[in-house]
Structure 1
Amino acid sequence: MIGPSISLQNVNLQYGENQILHAISHEFAAGQCHVVMGPNGGGKTSLLRSILGLTPFTGNINIHWADRKGKVGYVPQKAVFESSLPLTVMDFILLNQSRTPLFWSRWRNLSKQRGFALEQLDRVGMAERADRRMGQLSGGEQQRVLFAQALLDNPDLLVLDEPTTGMDELGVRYLESLILDLVSEGKTLLAVHHDVSAVRRLGANVHVVNRQLIDSGPVEDVLTPEKVERLFNHYSTKVSDDMFKQGKAA
């Protein structure tokens, strides 16, 4: 099953007097990788949360499925786990897989679930850490586990909010390879990302948002060296230093 397309018509989002998103009308094509970029505070995460129905907005957002409604996976920017909490990586995955307390599961079924959970952890390079406590992992390792958790239902639409936050180079490469595999399977991926070089490697469609939709198109057309500074400084007095430096170095 191919992933859905997503259409937005005159989408606005406002908190009090603060206009977060303004008059965005756009379509994200089905079965492709789409990366939302832009300066800090430009509304990127708010756009994703609006598409997921997690925050109120005005206008219309529609997810168009090819034949039947598919499944949606979501990886938040980060999660916080107490280091003292006796919740292992495997426990976390099994809880999300079964949706029932672990001690309610029959051992036979739990064994099957463990095998499937290990497969997903292996896809993000975390199978060998299955017995580690979630709170003892680095932020980047936790992100990789969250990614594995999002794959449990084999989603047709996967929404990622800064999926490589806190990751080392190995973790970034694992996720890039996995994203390419998922797109090759016909899934639709929508991600907020800040790393210009990483987005270029993905060969994604890039959509630059800073309250409004500033630019959109293939990565080679949008993230040209001469356009990066202008795009990420549009309608903003403060630009992300990391974004600016990466663009200048391109």
Structure 2
Amino acid sequence: MSVGPQIEIANLELQYGENHILSNINHSFEAGKCHVVMGPNGGGKTSLLRSILGLTPFKGQIDILWNDATNNGKPGSVGYVPQKAMFEQSLPLTVMDFILLNLTRSPLFWRKRQQDKAFALTQLERVGMANRADRRMGQLSGGEQQRVLFAQALLDNPDLLVLDEPTTGMDEQGVRYLESLIHEFVAQGKTVLAVHHDVTAVRRLDAQVHVVNRILVDSGHHSDVLIPEKIERLFNHYSHAPIAAKQHEVA
């Protein structure tokens, strides 16, 4: 049984000023699957994620349908990893400080319980960053910071994990950690929703792929969507000419 939610989108419209970002999106993301949103730069991928998370105003309807049987009628928890974050090198905030601050939601000068530190270290181990726990966040590479942000997203054991270009700047080892955790989440019946650009990596994730280019251009299992005869057309930049591909709805 899936513990992650199904996500239903109806008549989604999003624009900034005169700039239309998303138009007439009607779609369903099935519970308990890994879903990857792909498409050209400027096509609205991140805007779609931010709309689902309620981080940007939009027109239309978005419903996150939690499984009442597994969540006792209450909404589950959501983990979110943004595309990137910036940390000043001079900021005296260590990796452990950052995780504890997000774990306990209390000031850093408060005494931290050993069990909190042990739990934080466990989450850092899951992304291969336990040996960097005493490093300042600003001293990490961009890929290492992404791994710490991923560890932070795991703190509440989320049933819905939302990732915006999670492998940006990551080395091969970091990518392996992330992909292993995504497979683990899906095996537990949780829902993963990610923006990704690497076709090979998406195939390794065995993901459902949803191509967004201001409208929903195509949707389905990666083996049906990411085929050579489709890829070039799917990732062309948006134009005001009608798009030949039919907008899909997935039940």
TM-score by length of 1: 0.92
The CA distance in 2 between the partners of 1:114 and 1:224, in whole Å, is 46
Question: Which residue matches 1:203?
Answer: 206
Deviation at 1:102, TM superposition (A): 2.2
The CA distance in 2 between the partners of 1:235 and 1:191, in whole Å, is 21
Question: Which residue matches 2:248?
Answer: none
The CA distance in 2 between the partners of 1:236 and 1:101, in whole Å, is 49
Amino acid at match of 1:45: T
Q: Deviations over 1:65-104 (max 9, x none)?
A: 1103101110000000001111110000000000001222
Amino acid at match of 2:16: Y
Amino acid at match of 2:3: I
Q: 1:115 aligns to what SS in structure 2?
A: helix
Percent of matched pairs sharing the same residue: 76
Amino acid at match of 1:46: S
Query: Would you tell me which structure has more helix in proportion to its own residues?
Result: 1
Q: 2:192 aligns to what SS in structure 1?
A: strand
Give aligned pairs, total.
Answer: 234
Aligned-pair Cα RMSD in Å = 1.1
Deviation at 1:186, TM superposition (A): 1.0
Question: Which residue matches 1:85?
Answer: 91
Amino acid at match of 2:100: L
For the pair 1:169 / 2:172, whether they are aligned, the reply is: yes
Question: Which residue matches 1:128?
Answer: 131
Q: 2:153 aligns with which of 150, 153, 170?
A: 150
For the pair 1:10 / 2:11, whether they are aligned, the reply is: yes
Question: Which residue matches 1:222?
Answer: 225
The CA distance in 2 between the partners of 1:17 and 1:111, in whole Å, is 53
Q: 2:99 aligns to what SS in structure 1?
A: helix
The CA distance in 2 between the partners of 1:41 and 1:177, in whole Å, is 29
CA contact (8 A) 2:91 2:138 kept: yes
CA contact (8 A) 2:41 2:237 kept: no
The CA distance in 1 between the partners of 2:140 and 2:189, in whole Å, is 32
Q: Which runs of 5+ in 2 are unaligned?
A: 241-251
Q: 1:87 aligns to what SS in structure 2?
A: coil
Q: 1:48 aligns to what SS in structure 2?
A: helix
Deviates more, 1:64-73 or 1:31-40: 64-73
Deviation at 1:236, TM superposition (A): 4.2
The CA distance in 1 between the partners of 2:189 and 2:130, in whole Å, is 25
Question: Which residue matches 1:193?
Answer: 196
Amino acid at match of 1:38: G
Q: Deviations over 1:204-229 (max 9, x none)?
A: 00000000000000010000111100
The CA distance in 2 between the partners of 1:194 and 1:171, in whole Å, is 16
Q: Which runs of 5+ in 1 are unaligned?
A: 238-250
For the pair 1:102 / 2:102, whether they are aligned, the reply is: no
Deviates more, 1:186-195 or 1:227-236: 227-236
TM-score by length of 2: 0.91
Q: 1:102 aligns to what SS in structure 2?
A: coil
The CA distance in 2 between the partners of 1:228 and 1:173, in whole Å, is 25
The CA distance in 2 between the partners of 1:139 and 1:234, in whole Å, is 28
The CA distance in 2 between the partners of 1:190 and 1:227, in whole Å, is 22
For the pair 1:39 / 2:69, whether they are aligned, the reply is: no
Deviation at 1:234, TM superposition (A): 5.7
Question: Which residue matches 2:246?
Answer: none
Amino acid at match of 1:100: S
Amino acid at match of 1:22: S
